[in-house]
Structure 1
Amino acid sequence: MKKLRLSPLLFRRIHKWVGLILGLQFLLWALSGSVMALLDKDKVGGHGGGMSHSHPLPPGEYHDVAALPDGEPVTGVVLRDLGVRPVYEVESAKGTRLVDATTGEDIRVDQDMAREVAMMMNEAPVRKVSAIAKPNLESRDHEGAMWRVDFADAENSSAYVTLDTARFLVMRGDTWRTWDFFWMLHNMDYLNRKSFNHPLIVFVGFGALWLSGTGFYLLFKSFSRADFRWLRRRRKPVVTRSTS
């Protein structure tokens, strides 16, 4: 069996191919970073929950929480607005339900209500309302089932509203989708598009470190003393005059 020799030639060959692969990723980093910097930050940012659709709760008598119909033990109650209507979010072991804070009646969250909540954030015509069982890439920062409300505007915007409590979550458009694609290329998280802390980018980081180390090694191996002859200065002969 032929013994593998760790010679400068072997390092040079490996260095060449590793440099080519990592060089392509460096180009992707530069390209994706430039595109993300050039996109309009206001369009990229979208709209998060709890913004312009919030309204102050109207004054008046609210239904007594203790008088709500008995059922599963209640683990939490939140009073909030739903448009201009005060509602309770009642949490129990079965989940969360909405209750009208003035009448005590249960509120059913359907497509029409999801449309109404989404239109508080976008005045464009609604093209489609659909329910999704789990978050997609656009709504990956949130959990649970939700409504997706698609608008017929220039950005092809989509609003996301929680399925059971009609809370507005986020608005996404084409500019954000473009940014998100290049964000995926930038952080190399091709599945979740969330974090820099994953094995692939750690591997590339160590690969870049190895590339730098072998580059310095090959740099010094590429030179010899003959390459530095021009730096040597010849001593000029000293001329002395003799006196007689």
Structure 2
Amino acid sequence: MARQRIMQRFARWHIWLGWLVGIPILMWTVTGLYMAARPIEDVRGDQLRAEQASINPATVSFPSKLGEPIRAARLVSLPSGPAWVITSAEGSVWRYSADGSAALSPVVKDEAGRIADTAYAGKAARQAVTYFPPGEAPNDARSKAAVWQATYADGTRVYIDDTTGEVLALRTPQWRLYDVMWGLHIMDLQTRENAHHPILIVFAALSVMGAALGCTLLFRRRKARVKA
């Protein structure tokens, strides 16, 4: 009799947990199914990315007069030719020509368009180039820095760093929908990067409890039918 009362209590808990976590479980299932069904290469737009031009090391020379200590230096390929991206010890970033002769100014609109066209291997026409100040870039850029956004007729967006001229991201419409699904999946629609926040952990724990109770009830009911 006591065991029967315990099972009845488990059944009530299972029902209440089902009402509480039913929507999150459905959301996790739908978003997980969508993400699993999409080839990640298509989502990333790998077919729309052009290969970077190779750099001839014979034409490269490191800047000799920088004026302050540096933390890092990277050689990048741009439509105008290779360039050095220098990060100072204090964190400021600037770029130099690959021969080390002169510092280069920040990217202007025409250069941003050329960089985007070089990085984009699709056939759609470029429609616009838009500048976003620091902290105002769209969420799919995943950057707090100042960026240029080049948009194409097929919905592709190419983001270029205003300081270095590097391509930060190439985003397709499919990627943006995938990103929304990912944000729903981890319950973080703001940054879509935090998969460790308390809301997600609590609902996941409640879902595990509900599933465990359901499995227990299923086992007991099956045993009862066998005895009958």
Normalising to structure 2: TM-score of the pair? 0.75
Matched, 1:105 2:102: yes
- 1:147 is matched with 147
Long gaps (5+) in structure 1: 1-5, 231-244
SS of 2:179's partner is: helix
Normalising to structure 1: TM-score of the pair? 0.71
Structure-to-structure mapping, 1:1-244, within 5 angstroms: 11-39=10-38, 41-47=40-46, 52-58=50-56, 60-63=58-61, 65-66=63-64, 68=65, 71-83=67-79, 85-92=81-88, 93=90, 95-102=92-99, 104-108=101-105, 109-122=107-120, 124-134=125-135, 136-140=138-142, 143-154=143-154, 156-215=155-214, 230=228
- Structure with greater Cα Rg: 1
Long gaps (5+) in structure 2: none
Task: Provide the C-alpha distance between the structure 2 equivalents of 1:25 and 1:211, rounded to a whole number of angstroms.
Answer: 13
Q: Give the aligned residue type for 1:107.
A: L
Residue 187 of structure 1: how far off its partner (Å): 2.7
SS of 2:190's partner is: coil
Task: Provide the C-alpha distance between the structure 1 equivalents of 2:116 and 2:223, rounded to a whole number of angstroms.
Answer: 71
Residue 175 of structure 1: how far off its partner (Å): 1.0
Q: Which stretch shifts more, 177-186 or 187-196?
A: 187-196
Task: Provide the C-alpha distance between the structure 2 equivalents of 1:177 and 1:110, rounded to a whole number of angstroms.
Answer: 26
Instruction: Count residues in correspondence.
Output: 217
Task: Provide the C-alpha distance between the structure 1 equivalents of 2:18 and 2:61, rounded to a whole number of angstroms.
Answer: 69
Distance change in 2, residues 1:219/1:98 (3 Å): closer
Distance change in 2, residues 1:42/1:228 (3 Å): closer
Distance change in 2, residues 1:200/1:228 (3 Å): same
More helix by share: 2
Task: Provide the C-alpha distance between the structure 2 equivalents of 1:106 and 1:167, rounded to a whole number of angstroms.
Answer: 16
